[in-house]
Structure 1
Amino acid sequence: MAKSHEIKVARRDVQGKGASRRLRHAGLVPGIVYGGDREPAMVEFNHNEIWLAQQNEWFYSSIIDLNLDGSIYKVLLRDMQRHPYKQLVMHLDFQRVNENEVLNATVPLHFINEETSPAGKTADVLVTHELKEVHIACLPKDLPQSIEVDLASLTAGDIIYLSQLKLPAGVEIPALKLGKDHDDAVVIAKAPSAAEEAAE
């Protein structure tokens, strides 16, 4: 599993729009932690710490350790509300993670070796990344921070599908169980000139 990331959190005793507004003026972000066999917990975060954290890829796809008065709770980000134009995080939703239950998560795809592939070296070949992330299912201990897509052998005309991705042990793509229609293209290498001729 990827490196653990810890964020400090405090309990929030007051609710409502007015209370949330006062929290934000004080440099705090209201949030909620739900799921598991516990009641939802109203919490608050330090805005600066959250603002720095949300600039990292792991914030969206990794299990995070929430530190509440020294007790650690493993959670996964489920929703984040940002201000429409200010650099402000408005609200956070985290879901508790059960170490023994399969979780569903969305992780980013990292494309490697594209520049050195036969397709990447050919000037008139257009390589498009059809997907930037993928929905997976696994136990928390197996959750990858990202999935690599190796394009080293990509040539003109190639299409890489979800079913061709090399997944870490214990990780699966639920969509593939729904049939071939759900085996979406991840990468397509095509020659623009050929595509234009076909269109004409």
Structure 2
Amino acid sequence: MSKTFTVKAEAREKVGKGAARHLRRTGMIPAVIYGDKQDPLPIAIPYKETFLALHAGGFMTHVGTIEVGGQSIQVLPKDYQLEPVRDFLMHVDFLRVSEKSRVTVEVPVHFENEEASPGLKRGGVLNVVRHEVEIECPATAIPEAFTVDLTGLEIGDSIHASALTLPKNVELTITDRDFTIATIAAPAALRSEEDEAEEAAAAAESAEAQAESDQED
């Protein structure tokens, strides 16, 4: 299960650009909690604490608790806005969740045992097609990451979604195909050699065919 976080927030009575600017000058940023068939709750959260959580990794897959107005509300970050020039955190949207909630999230894919892959040892390249995989799962049981074992993989081998070990009640959102997650690609030098060999073989076959044709004539 993913890690959790706790944020102490304040309820916001005023909304709008002016109120948001005032919050940011005091080291807070505007946010909102919505969902679970309840009215949206505008809140203010500490900028520094939230910024560090965002850049620690996995922020969008970590269920947290927001303490506000005497309540402890379980939430999942669903969106955030950054100031386009300075990457200043401007706003965060949180979704209310419970033990019964199911959510759609993107979970990172990690790779291990690269040293045990014969293809990579021969100079092959790990070509990652999907760094994250979208799943549907209980909000309180989001996997931290999926791990793919590269042991024994050769150049030309592919890793598909079926290779992932899904925990109980976790489902892939793409179910109509066994999509590719990564491949072990040949290095550029080897590909060039193979192309040259194929061209030489084709030229030889063409020459043989021409020679046979000349003999028949």
| TM-score computed with the length of structure 1 as normaliser | 0.89
Q: Unaligned stretches of 5+ in structure 2?
A: 200-217
74-83 vs 113-122, greater mean Cα deviation:
113-122
C-alpha separation between the residues in 2 aligned to 1:14 and 1:115?
Answer: 57
Q: Which amino acid aligns with 2:133?
A: V
Q: Distance in 2 between matches of 1:87 and 1:189?
A: 35
> How far 1:90 sits from its partner (Å)?
0.4
Task: Give the Cα separation in 1 of the matches to 2:140 and 2:26.
Answer: 36
CA positional deviation for 1:116: 3.0
Q: CA deviation at 1:130?
A: 0.8
Aligned to 2:163: 164
Are 2:186 and 1:191 aligned?
Answer: yes
**Consecutive aligned runs of 4 or more in structure 1 exceeding 3 Å deviation:** 193-200
The share of aligned pairs that are identical, in percent, is: 34
The CA deviation at 1:141 is 3.0
Could you tell me which residue of structure 2 aligns to residue 131 of structure 1? 130
Q: Which 5+ residue runs of structure 1 have no aligned equivalent?
A: none
Paired with 2:115 and 2:85, the residues of 1 have a C-alpha distance of 36
Q: Work out the CA distance in 1 between the residues paired with 2:69 and 2:112.
A: 41
RMSD: 1.9
Question: 1:21-100 to 2 correspondence within 5 Å?
Answer: 21-100=21-100
- Give the whole-Å Cα distance in 2 for the aligned partners of 1:7 and 1:115: 41
How big is the shift at 1:87? 4.5
Aligned residue for 1:14, secondary structure, equals: coil
Q: Which amino acid in the other structure matches residue 92 of structure 1?
A: V
Deviation of residue 139 (structure 1)?
A: 1.3
Q: Which structure has more helix as a fraction of its residues?
A: 2
**Residue 106 of structure 1 contacts residue 135 of structure 1 at CA under 8 Å; is this kept in 2?**
yes
The code of the aligned residue for 2:134 comes to: H
